[in-house]
Structures are given as C-alpha cells and as structure tokens.
C-alpha cells in the first residue's frame, strides 16, 4: 500500500512538471533588454551600428502578445532564438531617422547620425536581433543583424537612471497586463515641479475623458517622472533662444517651426528605465504652440498657451500627437507646411491606419466602417475648404491674432462640412497625409485632421483601441 501511495505522489509531480511553459517563460526572463545603436546615412544610404546592450527592469509589454500583429511603422524589430531559429518576439516602430531621410537635407546627401534604442523582453539564451525596414512597396527587408548573448559581460547591467521622484497617476494592475504610459517633463526647473504636477494631472484628465481611452481606462497605467532641468523652457533656434534642459527638447526640428523633438535618446532611455513603460509622452514647459509624435518612440507637446482663450489647444496637442506615437496614425491634414518630401511614396498604400491611397476601393482597409452605398472616393466640400485654406496660407502664424483669425475661418469650413451629405460618415475623403490629392482620410473631420476638439474619427479610435488591447492582454 505504501508503495502505491508513493507512486501516486510521483505521478502527480510528473503531471505538474509536464505542464507546458508559456512561450514567454520558455524564452524570456521578466526583465527588459535595451539595444542601443547609431542610425546613420542619407536619403539613399543607411547604416546601423551597435552601441550598447543594457539590462533594465521588469518587462512592461504583454507576456501573451510577443509577435506583432499590428503591422505599423516603417521599421520592424525581429528577435530569433538562435538554438531553434524561431522568431520569439517582434515589434514595429518608427524613428526620427525614418522621418529625417525624407527631408531635403537627406536628399542633398548630407550624412547624419541618430541614436536609437529597441526594447525587448530579456532573452534567456543567445538571441539574434534583426532590424528590418520597409521598401518603397512596404515590404520588409533586413538592414541590421547581430547575435546577443544575454549572459555575457557585454550586457551592461548598471542602474543608469537619475534620482528623480516618480508619480503614480493611475494604477490598474501589473505592467505586463496594462498599457503603461510614462510622462516625462522637459524644461521644468526644480522650482517648477508644482507646475509639472498640475500639467500631468491635466494630461491624465484629457486622456481619460476622450474616446477610446475613456472606455479602456481600466487597461491603462499612467506614471510620471519628475525630471528636473537647469533652465526653464526649451530651445527655440529660430529665435536664438537656448536652454540647458534634461531631455534636450527643441522647437524647429527639421527646421519646421512648431515641430518639437529631442535627439538625446540615450538620456531619455536612461531616465525612463527607472519605471516600466510602453509609451512615452514628454511635456514641454513652454507656452509656445508645438509638439510632435513618432510611433513607438515618444510624443511631445507644449503645456501652456499664449492666449487663455485657446486653452483647448493643450488638449488637442496631447491627443493628436499621442495618436501618432501610440497608434502610428498619420496626419490627415494636408494644408499646413511640413519639411517632408514625398512622405508617402506615390502609388503605394501607406501603413498608417487612417490614410489610404485608395488604389483598390473594393478592398479599402477600413471598409467595415463604411455604410453601404457610400461612394468611394466620398464627396465633400473640398473646393470651399481649400479656398479658405489658401487664405490662411497667406497669414504669418507667428504673428499675434493668427489663431483668432483661424477660428473664424474654421467656423465657416465646419458649417459647410456639416451641411454636406457625408458629414459624420466614414468613407474616403480626398486630402490627407500632407497631400491635397491622391491620399484619402476616413472621415471629413477628425482629431488627426483639424486643429479642433472634434473626436477621433471611428477609424482612428479603433486603431488606438487595438493598440491598447494588444499591450494589455
Ligand atoms: Zn481619423
């Protein structure tokens, strides 16, 4: 009898041991690997060279969704287990380099270098890390590959973050089960941290009152790091104003007046590594209009306005720019100047979920949102809209009174649009992605189209919801 009890016990143990490990447990430790590299080139040449590999804190991404099914971004990180040659992780992303290579500077064959990072769950065994890029026809080809031994002395394990205080604004669960938003401040001095705390509260409120974030509130974590800068405000090169700030943000990125970026990737990553994060938003301590957003990298936005009547610009900026960095949404507008040339190559379907070249109307990518009998392309009062935009183009945006004049003009545009048949419907409306012709947007108006408080169109909202769900499963 004793023997049979013992055998039952052994059998039970073997049943427990035989329980299959999840792919995450099989291939990864619950930590983050950060691979830093330099991205160098011109419009026609491109090189990636390895900088350093770092071990960081717990993995913030999903333990379930290891392979990217979102198909967003110009670049794709692929990670293979060397022993079995299985793809164990992938993630699409965009980069400053990827935008810069479409500017005139790059086309003039000027070489530049940008520091970039990719994050992946920390592999248990040797892993092959590959970076692929889309060609003109949107097919991926590999541009960089290296093998990393996670147990080697070539992985830097030091704690690199600065000793800044952290703020928990919203906590709904462990980082791998939630999408983790991280707010950083730039251009806030030690004496301005109270303002930072007010600004991050407004950020949180803005996000939580907006669909589809509102409906997904329980899937979000929001954290902030109280980054302290030496100087107040950020660089404004066109005004010859220079400030020593912790994250190096600047207006006039790519020489575009209101585009705010920072090229100091290593500093941002070192500071951010103090907490688990999926998406970064940098609040810029400035009242001058400006911001930016790059898919999977970060978004930026000003935190003040010159005229209190336009306080809503702050909410617009947060949600518009975060749409870019969180969900790879494209700009739907086409009548404000940008520094890109051929941002979307002609005759090719863009990867942005909300911009289409409408090459095949039968298989429009947001077809499920289109009501039957809606013509594609969809008519809208474009000539009227464009005639008023032509007036706006003659005004100087840096002069006082500009936004007041724009508000009046916008009112006329909205009235005309609202009176037209397909207002509020999803279709394919010509004019999107910095191009007045050949590119189409899903809705006549959207948070990604106009400087206004209109909500995200249904296609943009669905794209954001998809990302939140992907990260919080
Ligand atoms: Zn939209």
CATH code of the domain containing 210: 3.40.390.10
Mean pLDDT along residues 358-385 = 97
Say how many Å lie between the first and final Cα of the chain, rounded: 47
Rounded to the nearest angstrom, the distance between the alpha carbon of 405 and the centre of ligand 1 is 25
pLDDT above 90 (res 9): no
Q: Report the C-alpha gap between 125 and 463 in whole angstroms.
A: 34
Rounded to the nearest angstrom, the distance between the alpha carbon of 355 and the centre of ligand 1 is 8
Residue 54: domain span: 23-156
Tens of pLDDT, residues 373-410: 999 999 999 999 999 999 999 999 889 899 999 999 99
Rounded to the nearest angstrom, the distance between the alpha carbon of 95 and the centre of ligand 1 is 22
pLDDT above 50 (res 2): no
Beta bridge partners of 55: 33
Question: How many separate domains does the chain show?
Answer: 3
Residue with tokens 């095949």: 360
* Residues 212 and 326: beta-carbon distance below 8 Å: no
Tens of pLDDT, residues 113-160: 999 999 999 999 999 999 999 998 889 999 999 999 999 999 999 988
Of the residues 126, 156, 186, the one at which a domain ends? 156
Asked if residue 296 and residue 171 are part of one domain, the reply reads: yes
Asked if residue 129 and residue 271 are part of one domain, the reply reads: no
Asked if residue 149 and residue 192 are part of one domain, the reply reads: no
Q: Report the C-alpha gap between 450 and 331 in whole angstroms.
A: 9
Rounded to the nearest angstrom, the distance between the alpha carbon of 356 and the centre of ligand 1 is 11
Rounded to the nearest angstrom, the distance between the alpha carbon of 248 and the centre of ligand 1 is 31
Q: What pLDDT, on a 0 to 100 scale, did the predictor assign at position 262?
A: 98
Q: What pLDDT, on a 0 to 100 scale, did the predictor assign at position 384?
A: 97
Q: Report the C-alpha gap between 159 and 120 in whole angstroms.
A: 18
Structural domain contains residue 43: yes
Asked if residue 246 and residue 140 are part of one domain, the reply reads: no
The CA-based dihedral angle spanning residues 149, 175, 277, 29, taken in that order and rounded to the nearest 10 degrees: 0
Rounded to the nearest angstrom, the distance between the alpha carbon of 406 and the centre of ligand 1 is 21
Structural domain contains residue 232: yes
Tens of pLDDT, residues 169-211: 999 999 999 999 999 999 999 999 999 999 999 999 999 999 9
pLDDT above 90 (res 300): yes
The pLDDT confidence band at residue 344, using thresholds 50, 70 and 90, is: confident
Structural domain contains residue 424: yes
Asked if residue 206 and residue 303 are part of one domain, the reply reads: yes
Q: Peptide bond preceding 377: is omega within 30 degrees of 0, i.e. cis?
A: yes
Those residues whose beta carbon sits under 5 angstroms from the ion ligand 1 are 354, 446, 448, 457, 460
Of the residues 156, 182, 202, the one at which a domain ends? 156
Rounded to the nearest angstrom, the distance between the alpha carbon of 425 and the centre of ligand 1 is 11
Asked if residue 171 and residue 238 are part of one domain, the reply reads: yes
Asked if residue 140 and residue 77 are part of one domain, the reply reads: yes
Residue with tokens 């070249």: 357
pLDDT above 90 (res 45): yes
Rounded to the nearest angstrom, the distance between the alpha carbon of 370 and the centre of ligand 1 is 13
Asked if residue 190 and residue 305 are part of one domain, the reply reads: yes
Q: Report the C-alpha gap between 128 and 87 in whole angstroms.
A: 9
Structural domain contains residue 451: no
Helices 458-472 and 312-327 pack at an angle, to 10 degrees, of 60
- Which one has a higher pLDDT value, 136 or 253? 253
User: What are 149's two structure tokens?
Assistant: 């031994």
SS (H, E, C) the chain: CHHHHHHHHHHHHHHHHCCCCCHHHHHEEEEEEEEEEEEEECCCCEEEEEEEEEEECCCCCCCCCCCCCCCCCCEEEEEEECCCCEEEEEEEECCHHHHHCCEHHHHCCCCEEEEEEEEEEEECCCEEEEEEEECCCCCEEEEEEEEECCCCCCEECCCCCCCCCEEEEECCCCHHHCEEEEEEEECCCHHHHHHHHHHHHHHHHHHHCCCCCHHHHHHEEEEEECCCCCCCCCEEHHHCECCCCCCCCECCHHHCCCECECCCHHHHHHHHCCCCCCEEEEEECCCCCCEEEECCCEEEEECCCCCHHHCHHHHHHHHHHHHHHHHCCCCCCCCCCCCECCCCCCCCCCCCCCCECCCCHHHCCCHHHCCCCCCCCCCCCHHHHHHHHHHHCCCCCCCCCHHHHHHHHHHHHHHHHHCCCCCCCEEEEEEECCEEEEEEEEECCCCCCCCCCCCCCHHHHHHHHHHHHHHHC
Rounded to the nearest angstrom, the distance between the alpha carbon of 330 and the centre of ligand 1 is 8
Phi-psi region of 258 (alpha: psi -120 to 50; beta: other; left: phi over 0): alpha
The pLDDT confidence band at residue 1, using thresholds 50, 70 and 90, is: very low
Structural domain contains residue 436: yes
Can you give the CATH number for the domain in which 107 is found?
2.60.40.3250
Structural domain contains residue 461: no
Rounded to the nearest angstrom, the distance between the alpha carbon of 12 and the centre of ligand 1 is 55
Rounded to the nearest angstrom, the distance between the alpha carbon of 332 and the centre of ligand 1 is 7
Asked if residue 376 and residue 433 are part of one domain, the reply reads: yes
Of the residues 311, 327, 343, the one at which a domain ends? 327
User: What are 190's two structure tokens?
Assistant: 């030690």
Q: Report the C-alpha gap between 433 and 416 in whole angstroms.
A: 22
Q: What pLDDT, on a 0 to 100 scale, did the predictor assign at position 3?
A: 47
pLDDT above 80 (res 340): no
What is the longest distance spanned by two Cα atoms in the chain? 96
Asked if residue 230 and residue 109 are part of one domain, the reply reads: no
Structural domain contains residue 4: no
Rounded to the nearest angstrom, the distance between the alpha carbon of 368 and the centre of ligand 1 is 15
Mean pLDDT along residues 302-316 = 96
Asked if residue 251 and residue 214 are part of one domain, the reply reads: yes
User: What are 334's two structure tokens?
Assistant: 């086409």
Tens of pLDDT, residues 48-105: 999 999 999 999 999 999 999 999 999 999 999 999 999 999 999 999 999 999 999 9
pTM: 0.94
Rounded to the nearest angstrom, the distance between the alpha carbon of 271 and the centre of ligand 1 is 33
Rounded to the nearest angstrom, the distance between the alpha carbon of 316 and the centre of ligand 1 is 13
Beta bridge partners of 114: 39
Rounded to the nearest angstrom, the distance between the alpha carbon of 337 and the centre of ligand 1 is 19
Asked if residue 97 and residue 143 are part of one domain, the reply reads: yes
């Amino acid at each position: 009898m004793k023997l049979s009890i013992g055998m039952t016990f052994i059998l039970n143990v073997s049943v427990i041991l035989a329980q299959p490990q999840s792919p995450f447990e099989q291939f990864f430790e619950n930590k983050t690997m950060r691979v830093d590299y330099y991205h160098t080139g011109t419009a026609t040449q491109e090189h990636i060279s390895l900088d350093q590999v770092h071990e960081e804190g717990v993995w913030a991404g999903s333990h379930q969704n290891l392979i990217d099914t979102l198909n967003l971004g110009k670049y794709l990180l692929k990670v293979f287990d060397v022993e079995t040659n299985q793809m164990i992780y992938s993630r699409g992303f965009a980069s400053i380099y990827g935008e810069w290579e479409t500017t005139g500077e790059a086309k003039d064959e000027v070489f530049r270098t940008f520091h970039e990072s990719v994050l992946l769950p920390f592999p248990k065994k040797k892993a092959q890390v590959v970076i692929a890029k889309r060609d003109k026809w949107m097919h991926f080809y590999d541009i960089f590959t290296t093998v990393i031994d996670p147990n080697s002395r070539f992985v830097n394990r030091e704690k690199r973050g600065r000793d800044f205080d952290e703020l928990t604004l919203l906590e709904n669960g462990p980082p791998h089960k939630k999408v983790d938003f991280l707010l950083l401040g730039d251009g806030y001095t030690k004496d301005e941290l109270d303002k930072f705390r007010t600004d991050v509260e407004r950020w949180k409120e803005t996000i939580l009152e907006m669909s589809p974030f509102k409906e997904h509130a329980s899937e979000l974590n929001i954290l902030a790091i109280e980054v302290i800068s030496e100087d107040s405000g950020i660089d404004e090169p066109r005004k010859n104003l220079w400030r020593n700030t912790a994250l190096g943000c600047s207006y006039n990125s790519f020489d575009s007046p209101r585009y705010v970026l920072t090229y100091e990737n290593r500093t941002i990553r070192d500071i951010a590594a103090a907490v688990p994060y999926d998406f970064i938003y940098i609040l810029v301590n400035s009242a001058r209009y400006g911001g930016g957003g790059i898919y999977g990298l970060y978004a930026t936005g000003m935190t003040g306005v010159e005229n209190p009547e336009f306080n809503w610009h702050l909410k617009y900026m947060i949600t518009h720019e975060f749409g870019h960095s969180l969900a790879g949404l494209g700009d739907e507008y086409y009548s404000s100047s940008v520094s890109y040339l051929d941002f979307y190559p002609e005759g090719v379907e863009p990867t942005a979920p909300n911009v289409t070249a409408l090459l095949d109307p039968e298989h429009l990518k947001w077809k499920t949102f289109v009501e039957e009998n809606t013509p594609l392309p969809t008519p809208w009062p474009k000539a009227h809209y464009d005639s008023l935009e032509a007036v706006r183009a003659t005004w100087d945006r840096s002069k006082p009174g500009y936004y007041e004049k724009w508000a009046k003009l916008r009112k006329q545009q909205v009235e005309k649009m609202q009176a037209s048949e397909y207002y509020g419907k999803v279709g394919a409306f010509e004019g999107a992605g910095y191009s007045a012709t050949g590119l189409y947007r899903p809705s006549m108006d959207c948070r990604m189209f106009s400087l206004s408080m209109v909500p995200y169109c249904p296609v943009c909202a669905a794209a954001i919801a998809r990302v939140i769900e992907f990260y919080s499963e």
